[in-house]
Chain A
């Protein structure tokens, strides 16, 4: 299958390993990616927190660019995904707003492309059975807790992703790879998002809580699908209480035996080598 690809700013910077692993996994699963032409930032928290119309217009500029190719758009960053879904929701509901936004963007907005996460595409289009059949190194001994965070799920009528209080897609995917997902109560809690820089004191407490609870659930790593969740847990958790925090695509890459996987983990703050090498997975 072929889809449009919107990496967003994070995947070219702090979440480089997410971009690299999404691309490697997509190629291995036969998903062809075509980058959205001359994309710009989705506006993220900064735009919607201070200027509603700016936030819709910045997202709409990219949606309009993607509409040219008329394919589903894969958006790995949960924050970009949430902004695009929200913009689509607002533009659908409000004809007057749509007119204003089209004027600012300078092009007509059709609302014709589906904005999708790679979790959704892999689970529903490729299929977990198909994924399972491609596993070369089952993730035996990997015991992840799945951390979905906010932006993939809420508000549910906008995101339309998975059960919003008890999502299971990532857990099922990890099980398909041979891992042993653990249950915990923090799947949908907030990591503090952009407060990481402006109120790092608060985010540090959140990160420490998640690490402690992951350990209590007998997990040896956390699996995420959002650059903000990964950065906040990986960078802010205190020294001696940590478990590695993986993007789900990194673990798929390891299970499929893709080359180059070891380079992704070098970009993490928390060293994941002892866990992966200890289990003979790297």
Chain B
């Protein structure tokens, strides 16, 4: 039961999350709490209770927008935003099916664009996102309008030294 708590704390490398006394300032200020399955402070309690599966499978960890309001206002300096990063990383490592699959699909498409070009090539990244998410038809009008304004182009400048970028991806690959 304590193993999960220990693992999360070890990865955060900051204040132990059990310092939380559930004042709920994090939840009160969270812009995504209204669509989350569990409130941010509840996630802390769930980790303390060893509810690893429930936490890593929950949509909450993916719906966190990383705005860092929680950690900024926490009276005990618990880094909840970093905790959400840690939980997402653990879920990816374990290959857990993500309930908010579009969110992970966007992250994957984004990173694969960096791996390919060193920079984000928006048209190619968005096409890749659509393939991964199956969300083919949303925002096509917006994309077309941006393309016509010359805002997005598949031919933007790319990073030249791609071997250094590829090495970063290789050396930091999750086990």
Report whether chain A binds chain B.
yes
Binding site for B on A (CB under 8 A): 9-10, 12-14, 16, 38-41, 43-54, 57-58, 61, 94, 100, 103-106, 150, 153-156, 164, 188-190, 192-195, 197-200, 202, 206, 235, 266-267, 269
Residue on B with the closest CB to A105? B168
Which residues on B sit within 8 Å (CB–CB) of A192?
31-32, 65
Shortest beta-carbon distance from B24 to chain A in Å: 18
Instruction: Bin chain B's interface residue count.
Output: 35 or more
Q: How far is the CB of A35 from chain B (nearest CB, A)?
A: 10
Please tell me if B67 contacts chain A, counting CB pairs below 8 Å: yes
Q: Which residue on A lies nearest to B145, using beta carbons?
A: A269
Tell me whether A51 and B89 are in contact (CB under 8 A). yes
Is A9 a contact partner of B168 (Cβ separation < 8 A)?
Answer: no
- Which residues of chain B are near A100, meaning CB under 8 Å? 171
Please state if A154 and B69 are interface contacts (CB–CB under 8 Å). yes
Q: Counting CB contacts under 8 A, is B120 at the interface?
A: yes
**In the complex the two chains form, what is the Cα distance from A51 to B66 in whole Å?**
14
Q: Which of A14, A46, A155 contacts B106 (CB 8 A)?
A: A46
For B104, list chain A residues within 8 Å (CB).
50
A229 to chain B, nearest CB (A): 11
Q: Is the CB of A53 within 8 A of B172?
A: yes
> Which residues of chain B have C-beta atoms less than 8 A from A194's C-beta?
65, 106, 110
Q: Are A41 and B68 in contact, with the CB atoms below 8 A?
A: no
User: A176 CB to closest chain B CB, in angstroms?
Assistant: 28
Interface residues of B in 103-130 (CB under 8 A from A): 103-108, 110-111, 113-114, 118-120, 122, 126, 129
Are A40 and B165 in contact, with the CB atoms below 8 A?
Answer: yes
Q: Do the beta carbons of A51 and B152 come within 8 Å of each other?
A: no
Pick the most buried of B35, B142, B168, B169: most chain A CB atoms within 10 A of its CB: B168
Residues of B within 8 A of A53 (CB): 172
Are A202 and B32 in touch, CB under 8 angstroms?
yes
Is B68's CB under 8 angstroms from A150's CB? yes
Q: Which residues of A are found within 8 Å of B142, using beta-carbon distances?
A: 235, 269
A104–B86 Cα distance when bound, in Å, is: 21
Interface residues of chain B, those whose CB is within 8 Å of chain A, are 11, 13, 31-32, 35, 63, 65-69, 71-72, 79, 81, 85-86, 88-89, 92, 100, 102-108, 110-111, 113-114, 118-120, 122, 126, 129, 133, 138-139, 142, 145-146, 149-153, 156-157, 159-161, 164-165, 167-169, 171-172, 174
Residues of B within 8 A of A51 (CB): 89, 92, 172, 174
Contacts A57-B172, A199-B102, A199-B103 given; indicate if A50 touches B89 (C-beta within 8 A).
Answer: yes
The residue in chain A whose Cβ has the minimal distance to the Cβ of B86 is A52
- Contacts A43-B114, A49-B107, A57-B171 known; 8 new A-B pairs at CB < 8 A: A46-B106, A50-B104, A51-B89, A51-B172, A51-B174, A155-B71, A199-B100, A200-B138
Question: Which residues of B lie under 8 Å from residue A50 when comparing CB positions?
Answer: 88-89, 92, 104, 107, 111
Q: In the bound complex, do residue B85 and residue A52 qualify as a contact, i.e. CB atoms below 8 Å apart? A: yes
Residues in chain B near residue A103, CB distance under 8 A: 171
Q: How far is the CA of A234 from the CA of B89 in the complex (A)?
A: 32
B89 touching A14, Cβ below 8 Å = no
**Which chain B residue has the least Cβ–Cβ distance from A156?**
B72
Contact residue among B31, B85, B146 (Cβ-Cβ distance under 8 Å from A14): B146
Complex: how many Å from CA A164 to CA B67?
Answer: 12
A46 in contact with B102 given A40-B118, A58-B168, A154-B67 (CB within 8 Å): no
The interface residues of chain A lying within 8 Å CB-to-CB of B145 are 269
